[in-house]
């Protein structure tokens, strides 16, 4: 049995797309003036990093608390670490505030 190309199974020929017209060359943009440097005179960017001392007082009850204590660098009860005072560290301290004691490092 030989196969023949039926008109039903043949795919219709696609119409050729017209060639796109070449785009005109872009005009050179004017050089933008350099932005002025922002003067930062805040206390946080004065070079000295703020830090806090965190002491673990109680043990973690669940995995979330354990991970927060490990993120702070605490390993056991009465373990003390000094960490930078950043918003992310403050968030970790907030999660386990009932398990730790926080003091400003001098």
Domains of the chain: 51-104 (3.30.1390.20)
Q: pLDDT for 82-96, tens place per residue? A: 999 999 999 999 999
- 27: three-class secondary structure by DSSP: coil
Q: Distances from the Cα of 25 to the Cαs of 20, 22, 28, 37, in angstroms?
A: 15, 9, 9, 34
pLDDT of the residue at 40: 44
Specify the DSSP class assigned to residue 77. T
Q: pLDDT for 30-75, tens place per residue? A: 665 555 555 444 444 556 789 999 999 999 999 999 999 999 999 9
pLDDT of the residue at 19: 72
Distance CA 78, CA 2 (A): 88
Q: What is the pTM of this model?
A: 0.55
User: What is the number of other CB atoms lying within 10 angstroms of the CB of residue 87?
Assistant: 6
Higher-confidence residue: 37 or 1? 1
Specify the DSSP class assigned to residue 3. -
Q: In percent, how much of the chain has pLDDT > 90? A: 52
């Amino acid at each position: 049995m030989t196969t023949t190309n039926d008109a039903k199974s043949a795919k219709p020929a696609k119409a050729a797309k017209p060639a796109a017209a070449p785009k005109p060359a872009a005009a050179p943009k004017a050089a933008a003036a350099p932005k002025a440097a922002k003067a930062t005179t805040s206390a946080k960017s004065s070079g000295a990093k703020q830090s806090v001392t965190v002491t673990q007082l109680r043990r973690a009850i669940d995995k979330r608390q354990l991970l927060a204590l490990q993120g702070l660098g605490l390993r056991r009860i009465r373990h003390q670490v000094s960490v930078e005072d950043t918003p992310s560290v403050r968030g970790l301290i907030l999660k386990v505030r009932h398990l730790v004691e926080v003091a400003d490092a001098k």
